[in-house]
Homo-oligomer: A and B are copies of this chain.
Amino acid sequence: MTTSLVPESQLLDLATRALVAGGMRRDDAATAARVLVLADMFGVSTHGVSRIPQYLERVRIGGIDPRAEVTVDHVAPGLARVNGRNGIGPLVGMRALAAAREGAAAVGICAAFVRGSNHFGAIMPYAFLAAQDGFASIIASNATTTIAPWGGRDTRVGNNPLGIGVPHPSGDPIILDIAMSVVARAKIRRLLQKGESMPLGWAAGPDGKPTTDPRAGLAGFLLPIGGHKGYGLAVMVDLLAGLLSGAAYLTHVQAWDKNPGAAQDLGHVFILIDTGKLGASSWLAERMDDFRRILASTPPADPAAPVMVPGERELNAYARAQREGVPVATADLRALESIVERAGNAAPA
Protein backbone atom coordinates (compact mmCIF):
# COMPACT_ATOMS: atom_id res chain seq x y z
CA MET A 1 0.00 0.00 0.00
CA THR A 2 1.70 3.18 -1.16
CA THR A 3 1.12 6.48 0.56
CA SER A 4 1.21 9.96 -0.95
CA LEU A 5 2.02 13.19 0.83
CA VAL A 6 -0.55 15.81 -0.14
CA PRO A 7 -0.45 19.48 0.89
CA GLU A 8 -3.26 20.23 3.36
CA SER A 9 -4.99 22.78 1.12
CA GLN A 10 -4.90 20.43 -1.85
CA LEU A 11 -6.40 17.56 0.18
CA LEU A 12 -9.09 19.87 1.54
CA ASP A 13 -9.92 20.94 -2.00
CA LEU A 14 -10.07 17.38 -3.32
CA ALA A 15 -12.21 16.17 -0.39
CA THR A 16 -14.53 19.14 -0.81
CA ARG A 17 -14.96 18.51 -4.52
CA ALA A 18 -15.63 14.81 -3.92
CA LEU A 19 -18.34 15.69 -1.39
CA VAL A 20 -19.82 18.24 -3.81
CA ALA A 21 -19.79 15.54 -6.48
CA GLY A 22 -21.79 13.45 -4.02
CA GLY A 23 -24.47 16.12 -3.79
CA MET A 24 -23.35 18.43 -0.96
CA ARG A 25 -23.46 22.22 -1.19
CA ARG A 26 -19.93 23.62 -1.55
CA ASP A 27 -19.86 25.38 1.85
CA ASP A 28 -21.21 22.32 3.64
CA ALA A 29 -18.73 20.11 1.81
CA ALA A 30 -15.78 22.32 2.81
CA THR A 31 -16.98 22.24 6.43
CA ALA A 32 -17.21 18.44 6.48
CA ALA A 33 -13.93 18.02 4.60
CA ARG A 34 -12.13 20.01 7.33
CA VAL A 35 -13.00 17.32 9.92
CA LEU A 36 -11.84 14.44 7.72
CA VAL A 37 -8.60 16.12 6.61
CA LEU A 38 -7.75 16.95 10.23
CA ALA A 39 -8.13 13.26 11.10
CA ASP A 40 -5.68 12.38 8.33
CA MET A 41 -3.28 15.01 9.62
CA PHE A 42 -3.51 13.45 13.10
CA GLY A 43 -2.61 10.09 11.55
CA VAL A 44 -6.09 8.68 12.13
CA SER A 45 -6.58 7.65 8.52
CA THR A 46 -9.41 5.25 9.38
CA HIS A 47 -11.50 8.36 10.11
CA GLY A 48 -10.12 10.58 7.37
CA VAL A 49 -10.95 11.22 3.71
CA SER A 50 -10.99 7.45 3.15
CA ARG A 51 -14.51 7.56 4.59
CA ILE A 52 -15.87 9.71 1.77
CA PRO A 53 -16.61 6.89 -0.71
CA GLN A 54 -18.47 5.05 2.06
CA TYR A 55 -20.49 8.16 2.96
CA LEU A 56 -21.31 8.79 -0.69
CA GLU A 57 -22.31 5.20 -1.34
CA ARG A 58 -24.90 5.62 1.41
CA VAL A 59 -25.98 8.91 -0.22
CA ARG A 60 -26.35 7.07 -3.55
CA ILE A 61 -28.77 4.49 -2.12
CA GLY A 62 -30.70 7.06 -0.10
CA GLY A 63 -29.22 6.28 3.31
CA ILE A 64 -27.88 9.82 3.89
CA ASP A 65 -29.23 13.16 2.67
CA PRO A 66 -26.27 15.20 1.37
CA ARG A 67 -28.36 18.38 1.24
CA ALA A 68 -29.88 18.09 4.72
CA GLU A 69 -30.50 21.42 6.38
CA VAL A 70 -29.26 20.89 9.92
CA THR A 71 -31.44 22.73 12.45
CA VAL A 72 -30.30 24.20 15.76
CA ASP A 73 -32.78 24.98 18.54
CA HIS A 74 -31.35 26.95 21.47
CA VAL A 75 -33.67 25.62 24.19
CA ALA A 76 -31.76 27.48 26.94
CA PRO A 77 -28.74 29.80 26.95
CA GLY A 78 -26.52 26.80 27.70
CA LEU A 79 -28.41 24.08 25.83
CA ALA A 80 -28.92 23.48 22.11
CA ARG A 81 -30.83 20.70 20.43
CA VAL A 82 -29.44 19.94 16.99
CA ASN A 83 -31.26 17.90 14.39
CA GLY A 84 -28.89 16.59 11.74
CA ARG A 85 -31.84 15.57 9.57
CA ASN A 86 -29.81 12.62 8.38
CA GLY A 87 -27.05 14.75 6.89
CA ILE A 88 -23.38 13.87 6.35
CA GLY A 89 -22.00 13.23 9.88
CA PRO A 90 -19.03 15.64 9.94
CA LEU A 91 -21.27 18.47 8.72
CA VAL A 92 -23.74 17.77 11.53
CA GLY A 93 -20.84 17.58 13.99
CA MET A 94 -19.44 20.93 12.90
CA ARG A 95 -22.88 22.57 13.21
CA ALA A 96 -23.18 21.17 16.75
CA LEU A 97 -19.68 22.35 17.60
CA ALA A 98 -20.58 25.86 16.44
CA ALA A 99 -23.82 25.83 18.45
CA ALA A 100 -22.02 24.71 21.62
CA ARG A 101 -19.29 27.30 21.09
CA GLU A 102 -21.85 30.07 20.68
CA GLY A 103 -23.59 29.15 23.93
CA ALA A 104 -20.34 28.70 25.84
CA ALA A 105 -19.08 32.09 24.68
CA ALA A 106 -22.30 33.60 26.06
CA VAL A 107 -22.78 31.82 29.41
CA GLY A 108 -19.48 29.98 29.97
CA ILE A 109 -20.59 26.45 29.09
CA CYS A 110 -23.00 24.94 26.59
CA ALA A 111 -24.10 21.45 25.63
CA ALA A 112 -25.36 20.68 22.13
CA PHE A 113 -27.41 17.48 22.00
CA VAL A 114 -27.55 16.05 18.49
CA ARG A 115 -29.99 13.62 16.89
CA GLY A 116 -30.55 12.51 13.31
CA SER A 117 -26.85 12.20 12.59
CA ASN A 118 -24.48 9.72 11.00
CA HIS A 119 -20.84 8.67 11.54
CA PHE A 120 -19.23 12.03 12.36
CA GLY A 121 -15.58 11.01 12.02
CA ALA A 122 -13.05 11.14 14.84
CA ILE A 123 -13.61 13.34 17.90
CA MET A 124 -10.11 14.77 17.99
CA PRO A 125 -10.69 17.26 15.11
CA TYR A 126 -13.65 18.83 16.95
CA ALA A 127 -11.79 18.97 20.28
CA PHE A 128 -8.78 20.45 18.48
CA LEU A 129 -10.83 23.19 16.81
CA ALA A 130 -12.52 23.96 20.15
CA ALA A 131 -9.13 24.17 21.87
CA GLN A 132 -7.77 26.52 19.23
CA ASP A 133 -10.44 29.01 20.34
CA GLY A 134 -9.80 28.45 24.06
CA PHE A 135 -12.63 26.00 24.76
CA ALA A 136 -12.31 22.84 26.80
CA SER A 137 -14.58 20.12 25.46
CA ILE A 138 -16.32 16.88 26.30
CA ILE A 139 -17.58 15.27 23.10
CA ALA A 140 -19.15 11.85 22.62
CA SER A 141 -21.22 9.81 20.22
CA ASN A 142 -23.14 6.61 20.26
CA ALA A 143 -22.55 3.98 17.57
CA THR A 144 -23.76 0.74 16.10
CA THR A 145 -23.87 -2.00 18.77
CA THR A 146 -20.62 -4.01 18.86
CA ILE A 147 -20.15 -4.56 22.62
CA ALA A 148 -22.12 -6.87 24.89
CA PRO A 149 -23.34 -5.55 28.22
CA TRP A 150 -20.95 -6.84 30.91
CA GLY A 151 -21.92 -10.44 31.65
CA GLY A 152 -24.11 -10.68 28.54
CA ARG A 153 -23.67 -12.51 25.27
CA ASP A 154 -25.37 -10.26 22.73
CA THR A 155 -24.09 -6.91 21.40
CA ARG A 156 -26.42 -4.21 22.71
CA VAL A 157 -24.22 -1.16 23.17
CA GLY A 158 -21.86 0.67 20.84
CA ASN A 159 -18.10 1.00 21.09
CA ASN A 160 -18.97 4.60 21.87
CA PRO A 161 -16.21 7.17 21.46
CA LEU A 162 -15.56 9.79 24.13
CA GLY A 163 -13.22 12.74 23.76
CA ILE A 164 -12.05 15.34 26.24
CA GLY A 165 -9.85 18.29 25.36
CA VAL A 166 -8.24 21.12 27.32
CA PRO A 167 -6.67 24.07 25.50
CA HIS A 168 -3.21 25.56 25.92
CA PRO A 169 -3.25 29.27 25.04
CA SER A 170 0.28 29.17 23.59
CA GLY A 171 1.04 25.50 22.99
CA ASP A 172 -0.45 22.14 22.16
CA PRO A 173 -3.77 21.26 23.80
CA ILE A 174 -4.12 17.92 25.60
CA ILE A 175 -6.79 15.81 23.92
CA LEU A 176 -8.01 12.29 24.58
CA ASP A 177 -10.14 10.48 22.01
CA ILE A 178 -10.95 6.88 22.88
CA ALA A 179 -13.49 4.19 22.18
CA MET A 180 -14.49 1.77 24.93
CA SER A 181 -13.09 -1.54 23.65
CA VAL A 182 -9.66 -2.78 24.72
CA VAL A 183 -8.66 -3.04 21.05
CA ALA A 184 -10.19 -2.46 17.63
CA ARG A 185 -11.41 -5.42 15.57
CA ALA A 186 -8.66 -4.76 13.02
CA LYS A 187 -6.05 -5.73 15.59
CA ILE A 188 -7.76 -9.09 16.18
CA ARG A 189 -8.02 -9.67 12.44
CA ARG A 190 -4.26 -9.18 12.13
CA LEU A 191 -3.61 -11.85 14.79
CA LEU A 192 -5.90 -14.25 12.95
CA GLN A 193 -3.98 -13.65 9.71
CA LYS A 194 -0.68 -14.32 11.47
CA GLY A 195 -2.13 -17.45 13.12
CA GLU A 196 -1.39 -16.08 16.59
CA SER A 197 -3.52 -16.31 19.71
CA MET A 198 -5.08 -13.30 21.38
CA PRO A 199 -4.41 -12.01 24.92
CA LEU A 200 -7.25 -12.81 27.29
CA GLY A 201 -9.51 -9.81 27.78
CA TRP A 202 -9.63 -8.49 24.23
CA ALA A 203 -12.79 -10.26 23.10
CA ALA A 204 -15.38 -12.85 24.08
CA GLY A 205 -16.69 -15.68 21.95
CA PRO A 206 -20.34 -15.97 20.90
CA ASP A 207 -21.01 -17.71 24.26
CA GLY A 208 -19.99 -14.55 26.15
CA LYS A 209 -16.90 -16.21 27.61
CA PRO A 210 -13.46 -14.56 27.24
CA THR A 211 -11.35 -16.30 24.62
CA THR A 212 -7.79 -16.30 23.26
CA ASP A 213 -8.93 -17.55 19.84
CA PRO A 214 -9.08 -14.62 17.39
CA ARG A 215 -11.64 -16.47 15.25
CA ALA A 216 -13.99 -16.91 18.23
CA GLY A 217 -13.41 -13.29 19.21
CA LEU A 218 -14.37 -12.00 15.77
CA ALA A 219 -17.49 -14.19 15.82
CA GLY A 220 -18.28 -12.90 19.32
CA PHE A 221 -17.70 -9.35 20.47
CA LEU A 222 -15.13 -6.86 21.69
CA LEU A 223 -14.62 -6.55 25.44
CA PRO A 224 -14.70 -3.10 27.04
CA ILE A 225 -11.76 -1.58 28.95
CA GLY A 226 -11.88 -2.51 32.62
CA GLY A 227 -14.80 -4.91 32.14
CA HIS A 228 -17.85 -3.43 33.86
CA LYS A 229 -16.18 0.00 33.93
CA GLY A 230 -15.83 0.31 30.17
CA TYR A 231 -19.32 -1.16 29.73
CA GLY A 232 -20.58 1.49 32.14
CA LEU A 233 -18.82 4.27 30.24
CA ALA A 234 -20.30 3.06 26.95
CA VAL A 235 -23.76 3.04 28.54
CA MET A 236 -23.40 6.53 30.00
CA VAL A 237 -22.16 7.92 26.67
CA ASP A 238 -25.23 6.47 24.97
CA LEU A 239 -27.50 7.98 27.63
CA LEU A 240 -25.99 11.44 27.11
CA ALA A 241 -25.38 11.31 23.35
CA GLY A 242 -28.31 9.14 22.31
CA LEU A 243 -31.12 9.03 24.85
CA LEU A 244 -31.03 12.66 26.05
CA SER A 245 -30.50 13.90 22.48
CA GLY A 246 -33.72 12.33 21.23
CA ALA A 247 -31.65 10.16 18.88
CA ALA A 248 -31.73 6.38 18.54
CA TYR A 249 -29.80 4.47 21.23
CA LEU A 250 -28.53 0.94 21.91
CA THR A 251 -30.12 -1.55 19.49
CA HIS A 252 -32.30 1.16 17.91
CA VAL A 253 -29.24 2.54 16.12
CA GLN A 254 -29.16 1.29 12.52
CA ALA A 255 -25.91 -0.36 11.43
CA TRP A 256 -24.55 1.56 8.43
CA ASP A 257 -22.77 -1.54 7.15
CA LYS A 258 -25.67 -4.00 7.46
CA ASN A 259 -28.43 -1.57 6.58
CA PRO A 260 -26.75 1.25 4.63
CA GLY A 261 -29.99 2.54 3.10
CA ALA A 262 -31.61 3.30 6.48
CA ALA A 263 -31.16 6.51 8.47
CA GLN A 264 -28.95 5.67 11.46
CA ASP A 265 -30.29 8.43 13.70
CA LEU A 266 -26.99 8.55 15.59
CA GLY A 267 -26.70 10.88 18.58
CA HIS A 268 -23.82 13.04 19.76
CA VAL A 269 -23.19 15.45 22.60
CA PHE A 270 -20.83 18.42 22.48
CA ILE A 271 -20.09 20.19 25.79
CA LEU A 272 -17.86 23.25 25.45
CA ILE A 273 -16.41 25.32 28.30
CA ASP A 274 -14.96 28.80 27.81
CA THR A 275 -11.70 28.58 29.77
CA GLY A 276 -11.14 32.32 29.33
CA LYS A 277 -13.83 32.85 31.98
CA LEU A 278 -11.92 30.72 34.51
CA GLY A 279 -8.63 32.59 34.47
CA ALA A 280 -6.17 34.63 32.43
CA SER A 281 -4.50 32.91 29.49
CA SER A 282 -1.07 33.37 31.11
CA TRP A 283 -2.36 31.50 34.17
CA LEU A 284 -3.66 28.66 32.00
CA ALA A 285 -0.52 28.52 29.84
CA GLU A 286 1.76 28.29 32.85
CA ARG A 287 -0.29 25.49 34.43
CA MET A 288 -0.51 23.54 31.16
CA ASP A 289 3.28 23.77 30.73
CA ASP A 290 3.85 22.58 34.28
CA PHE A 291 1.28 19.77 33.95
CA ARG A 292 2.88 18.47 30.76
CA ARG A 293 6.38 18.72 32.25
CA ILE A 294 5.40 16.62 35.27
CA LEU A 295 4.06 13.82 33.07
CA ALA A 296 6.74 13.96 30.37
CA SER A 297 9.56 13.78 32.94
CA THR A 298 8.28 10.50 34.45
CA PRO A 299 11.09 7.91 34.35
CA PRO A 300 10.00 5.51 31.56
CA ALA A 301 9.79 1.73 32.02
CA ASP A 302 11.49 1.45 28.63
CA PRO A 303 14.12 4.18 28.12
CA ALA A 304 13.39 4.14 24.39
CA ALA A 305 9.71 5.02 24.96
CA PRO A 306 9.30 8.27 26.89
CA VAL A 307 5.99 8.96 28.60
CA MET A 308 3.50 10.93 26.48
CA VAL A 309 0.42 13.00 27.21
CA PRO A 310 -2.93 12.21 25.53
CA GLY A 311 -2.99 13.45 21.95
CA GLU A 312 0.76 14.07 21.79
CA ARG A 313 1.34 11.49 19.08
CA GLU A 314 -1.50 12.92 16.98
CA LEU A 315 -0.41 16.55 17.42
CA ASN A 316 3.15 15.62 16.44
CA ALA A 317 1.73 13.98 13.32
CA TYR A 318 -0.28 17.15 12.67
CA ALA A 319 2.83 19.35 12.80
CA ARG A 320 4.63 16.94 10.47
CA ALA A 321 1.67 16.92 8.05
CA GLN A 322 1.72 20.72 7.98
CA ARG A 323 5.43 20.71 7.11
CA GLU A 324 5.63 17.74 4.76
CA GLY A 325 2.09 17.17 3.51
CA VAL A 326 -0.70 14.89 4.70
CA PRO A 327 -0.05 11.15 4.28
CA VAL A 328 -2.94 9.51 2.42
CA ALA A 329 -3.08 6.03 0.93
CA THR A 330 -2.65 6.48 -2.79
CA ALA A 331 -5.63 4.20 -3.42
CA ASP A 332 -7.82 6.49 -1.28
CA LEU A 333 -6.66 9.52 -3.27
CA ARG A 334 -7.45 7.75 -6.55
CA ALA A 335 -10.92 6.90 -5.25
CA LEU A 336 -11.63 10.56 -4.49
CA GLU A 337 -10.25 11.70 -7.85
CA SER A 338 -12.40 9.19 -9.63
CA ILE A 339 -15.51 10.41 -7.76
CA VAL A 340 -14.73 13.96 -8.86
CA GLU A 341 -14.02 12.92 -12.44
CA ARG A 342 -17.14 10.79 -12.77
CA ALA A 343 -19.23 13.73 -11.63
CA GLY A 344 -17.55 15.93 -14.24
CA ASN A 345 -16.89 18.29 -11.39
CA ALA A 346 -13.14 18.55 -11.73
CA ALA A 347 -13.02 22.34 -12.08
CA PRO A 348 -10.90 24.06 -9.43
CA ALA A 349 -12.79 25.43 -6.42
Residues in A lying within 8 Å of B, measured CB to CB: 75-79, 81, 104, 107-111, 113, 136, 138, 148-154, 156-157, 164, 166, 174, 176, 178, 182, 201, 204, 207-209, 225-226, 229-233, 235-236, 238-240, 243-244, 246, 249-251, 271, 273-275, 277-279, 284, 287-288, 291, 294-295, 298-302, 305-310
Main secondary structure on A side of the interface with B: mixed
C-alpha spacing A307/B107, complex, angstroms: 40
- Copies of the polypeptide in the assembly: 2
Residues of B within 8 A of A136 (CB): 239-240, 244
Closest beta carbon of chain B to A15's beta carbon, Å: 28
C-alpha spacing A208/B107, complex, angstroms: 44
The answer to whether residues A250 and B79 also contact, given A108-B111, A152-B307, A307-B152 and a CB cut-off of 8 A, is: no
Residues of B within 8 A of A291 (CB): 238-239, 243, 249-250
C-alpha spacing A208/B109, complex, angstroms: 39
Q: Which of B107, B201, B307, B309 interacts with A201 by CB under 8 Å?
A: B201
Q: Is the CB of B294 within 8 A of A81?
A: no
Closest beta carbon of chain B to A119's beta carbon, Å: 21
Residues of B within 8 A of A239 (CB): 136, 164, 166, 174, 291
Other A-B pairs, 8, CB within 8 Å; known A151-B300, A208-B302: A75-B108, A75-B278, A79-B107, A148-B298, A164-B239, A166-B239, A208-B301, A251-B294
C-alpha spacing A167/B78, complex, angstroms: 19
Q: Which of B250, B277, B301 interacts with A75 by CB under 8 Å?
A: B277
Q: Is the CB of A300 within 8 A of B152?
A: yes
- A75 — nearest CB in chain B belongs to which residue? B277
The answer to whether residues A298 and B236 also contact, given A78-B78, A178-B226, A225-B229 and a CB cut-off of 8 A, is: no
Residues of B within 8 A of A78 (CB): 77-78, 104, 107-110
The answer to whether residues A151 and B301 also contact, given A288-B243, A295-B250 and a CB cut-off of 8 A, is: yes
C-alpha spacing A58/B43, complex, angstroms: 49
C-alpha spacing A291/B232, complex, angstroms: 13
C-alpha spacing A250/B178, complex, angstroms: 21
Closest beta carbon of chain B to A311's beta carbon, Å: 8
User: Among A226, A249, A250, A274, which residue has the most Cβ atoms of chain B within 10 A?
Assistant: A226
C-alpha spacing A60/B230, complex, angstroms: 40
Residues of B within 8 A of A231 (CB): 310
Q: Which of B148, B176, B235 interacts with A232 by CB under 8 Å?
A: B176
- A235 — nearest CB in chain B belongs to which residue? B310
Q: Is the CB of B244 within 8 A of A278?
A: yes
Q: Is the CB of A153 within 8 A of B75?
A: no
Q: Is the CB of B277 within 8 A of A150?
A: no
- A165 — nearest CB in chain B belongs to which residue? B236
A-B contact pairs, 5 of them (CB 8 A): A77-B78, A79-B278, A156-B298, A166-B243, A204-B301
